[in-house]
Amino acid sequence: MQKYEMTIDGRSVTADRYEEIRNPSTGAVVGLAPVGTLDHLEMAIAAAERAFASWRRSSDAEREAACNTIARVVTENAGELATLLSMEQGKPLKGLGAEFEMGGCAAWAGYTATLKLPVTVIEDSPSKRIEMHREPVGVVGSITPWNWPLMIAIWHIVPAIRTGNTVVIKPSPFTPLGTLRMIELIAAALPPGLVNIVSGDNDIGAALSRHEKIAKVVFTGSIETGKKVMSSAAPTLKPLTLELGGNDPGIVLPDVDMSKLVEPMFWGALINSGQTCGALKRLYVHDSVYDEVCAALVAYGSQIPMGDGLDTQNVLGPLQNERQFRKVIELVEDAKAQGARVLLGGEPRSGSGYFYPVTFLAECRDGMRIVDEEQFGPVLPIIRYTDLDAAIAAANGTQFGLDASVWGSDPAQLSAVAARLEAGTVFINKHAEIAPNVPFGGIKCSGLGVEFGVEGLAAYTTIKIINAAL
């Protein structure tokens, strides 16, 4: 059985204990992950601190080159990493799966390399010159989830390196292998200590957030854990970027053209079997088109192949872990008991793996758990509305605020509804599209700060003003 190792200070570091990581499609052991300790974390933070002492003085060109190196390493090893990712996460190689995720890693790293945060001259007058510089913060602590483990690791690491910081990353205990291998490859191509990884249980994440030598935490995960990270970080007042859970609403207007929109609507909800923070998670459909929208989604969704990720026919995979599998079963059972009508799916698949079929539930209502909570699975509750104002109020009436969408044909009405939806991103006639040049983040309990673009990059810096008398 293949053992994966942590990488600290450019060297492979073993642990006393290893845990089996299993394929959620088959239950087979994929590999052994080291269970790091608080001592490993101290080693990693010390290495990152030493590396920071020189990396903070690196030139802009050196930082850009390091990010391009990351993009190259990821591209050169995309085949191996995609296969490992598919086996441990469950997502298929094909479709919007593991190969797509590796393509995203390379695209984000390459694009982020090109971003610049030049010195800004705020005032240049006969008596003074005031400049604004962007300084690195120090050692960045990164904590990642299990749904898009490699892409999210890249989202955290690359902007940190691009701005002169160093990194200690802690991957999810559900999906550590791909990140361990990717960091091993990346670290071998960069100066020692720039990127370090400590895998292990949740206590490593808590200790990282608390640590006085960690200058910033970038965390992607659930709202519940995000609150814990914020509280652990409070004594050291470290800046945070928190990308948290979503329960994205979509509003379908009476003039929707489903012949054009069924495909983006389906994938907006079902990408990664619904295990995506910014996926469409509750759909409000006008009464006049309710049956037509339901029928179109069912017709499209019933022919999408789901199964073992390494079978290239499949484009949807299982739930990643048993906890998530049980949660999806529980939410659907609760909805059925409350009067939801199953249009497609609705029962877990028997046999091996955490497979839950594509499921559409009609006659759902606000107040049902499947509507109010983040289901994070291949299940879409469809809610009937007659009054648009009430639908907008329901869409906005939660603690969530990651993305939202509106679907229809009249550009003026689409813009008017988009303006009233409360979310970090509002999509029109699509959902769950992200790009490295477009800032992304949640409002309300869905997050703090943004990633991507110049705004996302700036979050890895502090402002330093040089104010000179002339």
What residues are labeled active site? 243, 277
Rounding to the nearest 10 degrees, give the CA dihedral for residues 78, 216, 375, 455.
-80
Residue 444 CA: distances (Å) to CA of 149, 340, 400, 448: 24, 29, 6, 8
Q: Which residue, judged by CB position, is nearest to ligand NAD in the bound state?
A: 205
Q: How far is the CB of 213 from ligand NAD (least distance, A)?
A: 16
Q: How far is the CB of 444 from ligand NAD (least distance, A)?
A: 12
Nearer to ligand NAD, 227 or 464 (CB): 227
Q: How far is the CB of 369 from ligand NAD (least distance, A)?
A: 15
Q: How far is the CB of 199 from ligand NAD (least distance, A)?
A: 9
- C-beta separation of 404 from 240 below 8 A: no
Nearer to ligand NAD, 242 or 344 (CB): 242
Site of interaction with ligand NAD (CB under 6 A): 143-147, 170, 172-173, 202, 205-206, 209, 220-222, 225, 228-229, 243-246, 277, 374, 376, 402, 442, 447
Q: How far is the CB of 414 from ligand NAD (least distance, A)?
A: 24
At 134, list the tokens: 């962007």
- C-beta separation of 171 from 144 below 8 A: yes
- C-beta separation of 377 from 222 below 8 A: no
Q: How far is the CB of 451 from ligand NAD (least distance, A)?
A: 7
HEC secondary structure over 349-395: CCCCCCCCCCEEEEEECECEHHHHCCCCCCEEEEEEECCHHHHHHHH
- Quote the CA–CA distance of 289 and 175 in Å, as a whole number: 41
- C-beta separation of 194 from 187 below 8 A: yes
Nearer to ligand NAD, 143 or 297 (CB): 143
Q: How far is the CB of 441 from ligand NAD (least distance, A)?
A: 7
- Quote the CA–CA distance of 57 and 43 in Å, as a whole number: 22
Nearer to ligand NAD, 146 or 266 (CB): 146
> For 346, phi and psi rounded to 5 degrees?
95, -5
Nearer to ligand NAD, 148 or 385 (CB): 148
Nearer to ligand NAD, 280 or 388 (CB): 280
Q: How far is the CB of 250 from ligand NAD (least distance, A)?
A: 16
Burial group, residue 177, by CB count within 10 angstroms (0-12, 13-18, 19+)? buried
Q: How far is the CB of 360 from ligand NAD (least distance, A)?
A: 21
Nearer to ligand NAD, 265 or 271 (CB): 271
Amino acid identity at 443: I
Nearer to ligand NAD, 95 or 205 (CB): 205
Nearer to ligand NAD, 231 or 312 (CB): 231
